[in-house]
Each structure stands twice: as structure tokens, then as C-alpha cells.
Amino acid sequence: MSGPVIKCENVYKIFGANAEKMLKDSNGNVDAKTFQENGCIVGVNNASFEVAKGEMLVVMGLSGSGKSTLLRCISRLTDATGGKIFIEGQDLLQLNNKDLIDLRRNKMGMVFQSFALLPHKTVVENIAFPLQIKGVKTKDSISKAMDMVKLVGLDGRENYFPRELSGGQQQRVGIARSLAVEPDIWFLDEPFSALDPLIRKEMQDEFLRLQEKLQKTIMFITHDFDEALKLADRIAIMKDGIIEQLDTPANIVLNPATEYVRKFTEEVPREKVLLIEDIMDKTKDNLGDLKVSKDEIIENVAEKILTQEKSVAVIDNDNNIIGSIDPAKIINTVFGGRKNNI
Amino acid sequence: MEFFKKYPKTFQWLFLLVVFFALCFAIEVPETYKFIRGQAEFVKDPNQSSYVFLGKEVRYYAFDVFWRLPPLLGWLPIWINDSLFFLMNEWMPIEVWNEDTQEYKSRPLVLQISRNITAFMTFLIQLIREVLLGGLETIVAFTSWDWIDKNPWAELPGLPWTIVAAGAALLSYKLSGKGLALFAGLTMVYISIFGQWKPSMQTLSFILVAAPLSFIFGLGLGIAAFKSKRVEKALYPILLVMQTMPQYAVLVPALVLFGVGDHAAVIITMVVAVPPMILLTILGLRAVPPEVIEAGRMSGCNNFQLMFKVLIPTARRDILIGVNQVIMVCFSMAVISAFIGAKGLGFNLLLALNQLNIGLALEAGLCISLIAILLDKMSLAWANKQEDYFGNLTFFERNKNLLFFAATVVIGLILAYIGTFLFKDTFNYLFEIPHNKGISTADFWNKGVDWIFETFFVYIKAFNTWLIQEVLQPMRALYLRMPAIATIVLVVGAGYLIGGIRSALVVCGLTLFIALSPWWDRALVTTYMATFGVIVSCTIGFTVGTLCFQNKHSANFMLGVCDIFQTFPSFVYLIPVMMLFGITDTSVLIAVIVYATIPATRYTIEGLRSVPAGLHDAATMSGVNKFQRLTKIEFPLAFPHMMLGINQTIVFALFMVIIGAFIGTEDLGQYILKALSDKKGAGIGLTLGICVAFIALIFDNLIRAYVQKRKKHLGID
């Protein structure tokens, strides 16, 4: 499959009685304020982006920014008011109910903030639920679900009911359930927001491990900027329904597009986010003996670099020198950016 | 003036009261006005005025319009009645094949439908009744009388009482545990030993048909209302009226449509029991978290799978609480529908009450209450039961209860067989103890009643006279003294002040309906009795509730008592008061007070409990004493919930006032009772029922508007 897995073109979602007519009249220039005066609430405002196969796009925004609404448009839990959404080239909004159900049964999985487990089914029955809905035989679905139980590390608890599990364990069940049909596209709607910080970190690591193994195409919703930085290939920052900036974590930290984005990046420890590649110079003169890989996170090599007097060579995967980095540059990156803000 | 500016509401209320009293004093009582004669008795009297509307002639005593409005809706009951008869006897004749005469016969559609439903219901009731008690009509329905004559073995023998008792105990054990199992066993043994087995099983079979049917219809309509806004909007007003309509009133139209007997009772019970089921279904489905629904959708559920595999199982508890409600309504109807010929305990109870045989009434009442409590506890236990996982158990462990039941069936049969040898000459007590062959305590109770009467007669009589002469009569006179226009102004004004223009309009419409019906005076009497009951009930309920709330154990105990009292079918309350006070208004009022105190107490305790614990701590840290905490913190915050309690109290009180007609009152209930024995009573009964429902809805509307405002103000939901 070539081309993007998910592709959005000018997607709008507006709540209200005569939303569609108002959108048509506005010619694509949606102003939230005028809409609100007319009794409409703008959820998603002109969102266009693509997600490639195996990529993880994290949508970050505070509550009410429209990030969950955007996700629900793409999973068609709500119908977008305007624009086009393509899933693997298929026009999502044109699908009839039967095709949509087929798509969800085979291609999509979703994890929810409040876990959304069925209270009357055990762990293994919950995980087998999407398979059984699809019509897989009970025996096969249970054995497949058991594999999933092992994958998320809940063996021995398969016959527990959701009420008997902790939050973290419940979300593991939610994750296992969403993966049971082996979907290509994985939606996660603030999956770790309801968990306490220690469990959250554990689950994030677990999630990264899973993704390494499974290589799904992912849309991940969060309101936690640190979580976004930690997980994302690319981040979309949303505010009032508008995508303010969509870029790699490094670019967002280094070149915030708007004042709003900059506020988020201020407190971010750069050395934990940026790679050597992001701050290196192209010059290759006056190099010392030390070489560092371009894919290293600054924090990991900062100490080594700072003990050098000369610039340090930056190499790519084939050991070719592609640039250099000065110790002063490291100091400037880690502490320098903040001086301006005091 | 400073005062009025500070409290504009107080000023408005004062103004309203001034207008009300001014109207009361300005409008004189017409000389011709006599309450007992009533306004429209449908007797010809030269003093009556009359008008013709839609071809129906309405006769009434005309008064000054300000004093009593003319019964402009007087044609409605006649019209309803005529339409019903037209529907039943003339509308849409269809050809029906008659098996006996072998020819087609013309019959109206509605009559035919009603006959078919009736036949179906009768069959269901017969089937269950014969499984429990034995008989041959079900077999005959599939074969013929000739066949059963040749094959007498096919007659259903009925279950020995030992098996039913053991079955009930086992089921209770599975649902709840040892305590309930013991209670179930003892109840069944009690019923059997005291010779109430047959009527009890008749009542049970009635409930076993009515409750599941109500459940199915309620669930179906609830789902439809959940899925479609339009259905919900159409259902909502009907539900509101049905919830406040006295159950008596629905009996009358059912009588016309379905005749007399168990089947009519089942149908009418469904009419009453379906609305709470619908409401609880909608409530339960609404409470399913949206994310669970989305999870279902993302799992690829189609609509059907979403409803039956995700929504309903998740809303299981609320739906089962609905089942509990249905069962409770069924019990209360089991007694009331005895008026239209339902057999069983209710019928015995009514008969005994009619003969003033308090002892017999008490026995039947006790039985029906015990079964009601048992089924109530069982269905609640079912609702609260968490599912267990059975996958890894052995066959024996999984089907333990079934196996046990099979064993009891065998043992019961053997016992019954042994019984045939033991009791050769008498009845087989191990199979079924016949009515009036058991131990009867009726004589004991009757003697007790006589003793109470002889001993305390003077005091009771004195109390009675005092209450009637000093309190009730003046209160009634005051109510009747209100000119219609003054009452309407008061009610509408209150509606406007509490809920704004919308509330005022709704209340105005409801009041006008009653005022324009021929029974305004009777409605005033109903209201006076209900008001008296509500005032006393609320006083008792608030006091008892507040006192019990002071201690956690006493609060729990009181809630338990409320639960049990609420389970009693409403008719049962009449037994002890008739025992003590005989046939007077006092009896009715005391029954009203006892019955209506239940919600008042319950809501007080629940309201006080709902005050957040954090506030308690905050208050304690501010150094309040117990009394201050109660008056400054708990009462203000619990008040909205307590007001809902008053709302319930009013509905309960009205119900009991109407049922009190059985003892003899002069209000709307009496007319409903009369309509029951009137061939043309259907329209009258229905209109009267709507009048009572509207009285309740007026208060309901005002109280709800107030509570909503208050809750918004306090920021609680």
C-alpha cells in the first residue's frame, strides 16, 4: 500500500442545528465567534494532514480543543460536517453502514480514556468481544484473546471481571481488546490520562515496546505535552479546533509556530527532546577526536561533549562525518533559550 | 420598603395571598349552593341548567361563574363512554369464522382483538395456575374434552407445596444466601399450614403472567423511546399521567374492553406496571457511559448487537430494578383488580373486608405481604448480584442448584406419595393443604378486635369525634368555601412565582380541566383529605427521619422499615385501621398518614445523607454544634431532595385517599368506585382518574420547578 493511511482534507466538525448551511455560507472561513453567536459550536476547524503507514501522530491539546472530536470524525463515531477523510484511499464519508462496520471490524482499533470495558464480561471475554461480534467461533476467539492477554501481560487474570482490576490493568485490557482484530490503524483517546503518574510512565514504556513490535499506524490523543514528546513521530497541537502546528517534536521545540505553541515548549527540557542532529552545525572544520551519532538525544552525550575543548564530529549511520557540534552550542541549547524569557 | 426591596419574592407572595383572600371574601356563597347535591348528578331536576355539546346533553346546577365554573367538560365522560361502546360494538365489522356453527359471523374488529387477547391471557394464566395447582383446561385447549375423558392421566396434577417451597428457598439461596432462603422457606410453610395455599398460588400465577409481560412491553417501549426522540416525546405525558393516576380509575375502562376476570386483571396490571419499567429502562440506557457505546461501535457492532450485547447488559442493574418495580405494582394490583374478578388472595381480602371479618382479612393480607416482601427481596438480590465466572467449574459445580432442585422434586413427589397412605381418610397434607383446612387464626384476631373495641371504645370514639368535629369538618368547610376563581388565581400565581410563565400555563391548564369537569367539589374534598394527610405525614416523616439520621444504625434500620412497608400492597393498610377505628373518615386518614409517611421519612434520610462528607468536616472545623450543623448546613442542602419526598408523599396520599373510598368517603374516589358498578361508568371513571392525576401533577409541577431552581442555585445535581 503506497500513500498515506489516513488523509484528512479540510475537515470541519460543527455542532448545532444548521451547522451545514452555515459552513457552506462561510466558504471555508470559519470564525468560531460568529458561529457561536448563531448557536453553533466549532469542534474541528479546517484540519488537513496525512498519517503515513507505521507512523505515530500525537494530537495534543487542552480540553475543549477539539482533539477528541477530530479523532471521532476519523473513526466516524461522529460524521464530519465538511471536508474529506480517506482511509487507505477509501473515502470514509461515502461508506455505507455495512462497509463502515466492516472497516471497523477489520482495520480499526480504539482505546478509550475511561477504559470502556463491558462490566458483565471477564477480561478474556472483553478482549474476545470484537472477534465474536465479527462472527469468529467462540473457541477460536477465546484462544486468540488469550494470546492478547499474554501480550499485555495479564496472564493469570483472564477470568477476572473489570471491577476487580486496577486502572492500569483495566487499560491493558482496553489495549488488548483494541488489538484483538489485528487492526492496521490504532486510535488511542487519552489512554493514560486517567492513570496515576507512576502507572502512566510504566504504561507509556509498555506502549512503546508494543509499537516497536507491531508497527501500527497510530493516532494518539493526549493533553500531556511531555507524553506527546515522548511518544510521537509527529505532533499536532490543537487549539479551539484549529491545528496550530504539525511537526516533529524537535521542530516544535526549536521553532514554535505560534505564541500558543511556544508557551508549551518553554518548560520543556530540551536536552531530553532534541537530537544531536537537530542542533549540529554543517561545518566540518576544527574537529576533535570524539564522534557522536546524529541520532543521540543530547542528554545522553552532553557530559562527554562538554569535557571536550574542540568541536565534536557528528556521524551518520554509515560512520560518515556530516557535521560538528561545539560544546558551547550544547550549553546554549540547554540553558540559552530560557534567558530570553526571564 | 427597604424590606421589600431586599426580598422581592416575599412581597410577591404576600401580594398573591392578599388577592386570594380578597377574592374569597368578595365572592359570597350562593344561597342555593349545597355540597352534597353536587353539580352534575345526572338526575333530572327542574332547577338544573343544561346544554348540549357534540350531541350529549349535560345537566348541572348553575352558579355564579366566579363561585363555581360551569362543567363545560361535562360531555367528556359521556363522549368517552359512547366512543368506547361504538368502538367495541360497531366500528369496523369483520368476518370471523365460527368453529361451532361452521359459518362466518360479522363482528367488530376491536371486539375480536379484545377476545383474542383475552383468550391468550386466559390460556397463559391457566397454564401456570395448573402447573402450580393442577387442572385440565390447558390440556383441553390443545386437545378436546373427549380426549381428556379417554386419557385421564394427562390431567396436570399440580406441584406438591413441598416442592414449590423448596424451589423458592433454593432460588433465594442462589440469589442472596442463607437468610433469604430461610425466609422463603418459612413463608411458604406458613402459607401452606395456614391454609392459604390455593389463593396464594392463584395470586402468584397472576403475577407470573403479568410481571414478565409488563417487563417485555416496558423494555421494548423503553428501547424505542431511547432510540427515538419522537417516541419519547409521545410517551412522556402518558407516562406522567399513568404514574399519578389512581389504579382504581384504570379498572373501569378495562372492564368495558376486556370484561371481568383474571385476564382483564392481567391486562390492567400491565397498563399500570409498564410505565415505571419504561422509565427505568430509559434511565438505565441513558446512564451507559458514552465511551462504552463508542467502544461497542468501534468493535464493529451493528445496531442490534450494540443494543443487546453492549447497552442492555451494561444497564442490567437499572433494568432489573425496573423488574422489581413491576413486581411491586403487580402485587398492589393483585388486590385492587379483585374488583374486576381476579381470583386469589386479593379477592379473599376484599371479601373479608366487605364482611368486616378483620381476622380473615388479616390472614390474607399477611400472606400477600409476605409473598410481596419475598419477591421484592429476591428481585433486588438479583439486580444487585454480580455475575460470577463459571468457565472453569465442573459440571456438578455449575449445575449444583439445578441438581438440588431435581432432587427436591423427587423427594417432594415421594413425600406426596407417602402422604396418600398416611392421610387415607383426610386430605393429603403433604400434597396440598386445602383452603380452610389449615390452622386459622381468624377467630383469634376477631376476638382481639372485639376486645380492643370493647376496652378502648370510649377513647377511640372520643378521639374520633374530636378529630372530625374540631379538625376535619372545619378544614373541609374551608376548602369548599374557596371560590373557584380564587383557587385558580392562587395556583396559577404560585406557578408563576415558582417556575415562571411556562409553569403557570401548565398548572393553569391542569386546574382548569378539573374546574370544568363536573367534580370540582369532590376534587376539593380529595385535596383536603390529601393535604391533611400530607401535612401530618411530612411532620412525622421529617421528625423521624432527622432523628434516625443522627445515628448510622438507626438510619439504616429506618430505611429497612420503609422498604418493607412500601412492599405491602396499599390495600393492606386498610385492615388495621378498620380494626381500630371502624368505618369513618378517621380510618382513611390514618391509613393515608401511615402510607404517606414512608416516602417522607425515606427522602429525609436520603437527603440528609447526600450532604457531602467534606462539608461535614468543614462545618465541624468551624466549630458548629450538632444543632447548628443540622440547621445551617444539612437542612438547607438536603431541602431540595426532601421536597421531592413531599412530592412522593402527595402522590402516595392521593392514592390512599382514593383507595379509602372502599371504606366510604365523599370524594372523587367514591365516584370512581361507583363507576365500577355502573354499566356506563367507563368514561366517568377515566375522567375522574385524570382529575386525580392532575391534582398530583399540579403539585408535582410546582415542586419540581422549585427543586430545579434551588438545585441550580446550590450547584448540586
pLDDT of B616-641, one tens digit each?
A: 888 888 888 888 888 888 888 888 88
Confidence at A186, pLDDT banded by 50, 70, 90: very high
- B178 and B103 both lie in a single domain: no
Query: For residue A186, what are the CA distances in angstroms to A63, A247, A325, B316, B473?
Result: 21, 20, 38, 30, 76
What is the nearest CA distance from B301 to chain A, expressed in angstroms?
6
Residue of A69, A72, A97, A133 best to disrupt the B interface, most CBs of B under 10 A: A133
User: Collapsing DSSP states into helix, strand and coil, what is residue A60?
Assistant: strand
- In this structure, the answer to whether residues B236 and B320 fall within a common structural domain is yes
Whether residue A342 has pLDDT greater than 50: no
- Please report the pLDDT score of residue A337 as a whole number: 55
Predicted local distance difference test score (pLDDT) of residue A341: 42
Q: Do residues B133 and B184 both lie within one domain? A: no
Res B544: pLDDT: 93
B617: its cell numbers: 468536616
Number of compact structural domains in chain B? 4
Boundary of a domain, candidates B362, B397, B416: B362
- Proportion of chain B above pLDDT 90, given as a percent: 22
The mean pLDDT value for A308-325 works out to: 83
Quote the CA–CA distance of B138 and B353 in Å, as a whole number: 33
Partner-chain contact A120 B294, CB within 8 Å: no
For chains A and B, CB pairs below 8 A equal 73
User: How large is the angle between the packed helices A167-179 and A123-134, nearest 10 degrees?
Assistant: 20
pLDDT, residue B39, reads 44
Q: How confident is the model at residue B133 (pLDDT cuts 50, 70, 90)?
A: confident
Name the residue range of residue B254's domain.
197-362
Distances (CA, A) of B209 to A306, B203, B204, B248, B267: 86, 10, 9, 20, 10
Q: B607 and B676: one domain?
A: yes
Write the CB contacts of A48 (distance below 8 Å, at least 6 apart in sequence).
A8, A9, A10, A11, A83
Q: How far is CA B285 from CA A6, A163, B214, B477, in A?
A: 34, 20, 18, 49
Mean pLDDT for the stretch of residues B495-508? 91
B302 to chain A: closest CA residue: A101
State in Å, rounded, how far the first CA of chain B is from the last one.
Answer: 36
Q: Tell me the chain A residues in contact with residue B289 when contact means C-beta distances shorter than 8 Å.
A: 114, 116
Question: What is the model's pLDDT at position A40?
Answer: 85
Q: Give mean pLDDT, residues A157-186.
A: 90
- B164 shares its domain with B233: no
Q: What is the pLDDT of residue A2?
A: 62
| Distance between CA atoms of residues B669 and B552, nearest Å | 40
- Is residue A21 packed enough to be buried (19+ CB in 10 Å), middle (13-18) or exposed (0-12)? exposed
B611 shares a domain with B547? yes
Q: The domain spanning residue B323 has which CATH number?
A: 1.10.3720.10
What is the rounded CA–CA span in Å between residue B170 and residue B180? 10
Q: What is the pLDDT of residue B602?
A: 92
Rg (CA), chain B: 28
Q: Which residues of A touch B391 (CB under 8 A)?
A: 122, 159
Q: Are residues B564 and B678 in the same domain?
A: yes
All domains of chain A in start order, with CATH: 53-71+94-269 (3.40.50.300), 271-339 (3.90.1280.20)
| Residue A293 to residue B198: CA distance in whole angstroms | 92
Highest mean pLDDT pick, A24-28, B58-62, B338-342: B338-342
Are residue B657 and residue B546 in the same domain, yes or no?
yes
Chain B environment of A141 (Cβ under 8 Å): none
Task: Give the mean pLDDT of A1-28.
Answer: 82
Instruction: Give the model confidence (pLDDT) of B282-312 as tens digits.
Output: 999 999 999 999 999 998 898 899 999 899 9
> Would residue B531 count as lying in a domain?
yes
In a domain, B512, yes or no: no
* Predicted local confidence at residue B393, as pLDDT: 65
pLDDT at A235 over 90: yes
The nearest CA of chain B is from the CA of A189 a distance in Å of 10
Instruction: With a cut of 90, say whether residue B52 has pLDDT above it.
Output: no
- pLDDT, one tens digit per residue, over A81-108 is 888 999 988 898 888 989 999 999 998 9
Q: CA B541 to CA B594: how far, in whole Å?
A: 10
B453 and B600 co-located in one domain:
yes
Residue B392 to residue A178, Cβ atoms within 8 A: no
Question: Residue A152 has what pLDDT?
Answer: 87
Q: Given this model, what pLDDT does residue B540 score?
A: 95
| Whether residues B325 and B412 fall in one domain | no
Mean pLDDT comparison of B173-177, B534-538, B689-693, highest-scoring range: B534-538
Asked, for residue B493, whether it belongs to a domain, the answer is: no
Tell whether B399 and B468 lie within a shared domain.
no
Q: Output the pTM of the full model.
A: 0.83
Rounded mean pLDDT of A5-29?
A: 84
Whether the predicted pLDDT of A1 surpasses 50 = no
B257 and B282, same structural domain?
Answer: yes
Better-scored residue on pLDDT, A17 or B151: A17
Which of the two residues, B430 and B277, has the higher pLDDT score?
B277
Strands A311-315 and A321-325: antiparallel
Lowest mean pLDDT among A61-75, A114-128, B536-550, B576-590: B576-590
For residue B147, the model assigns a pLDDT of 72
**What's the whole-number mean pLDDT along residues B19-45?**
71
Across chain B, which distance is largest between two alpha carbons, in Å?
Answer: 96
Within a domain: B702: no
The pLDDT tens digits of the residues spanning B386-403 come to 766 656 666 777 777 788
Q: Which residues of A touch B301 (CB under 8 A)?
A: 101, 133
pLDDT in the model for residue A313:
84
B65-70 mean pLDDT = 82
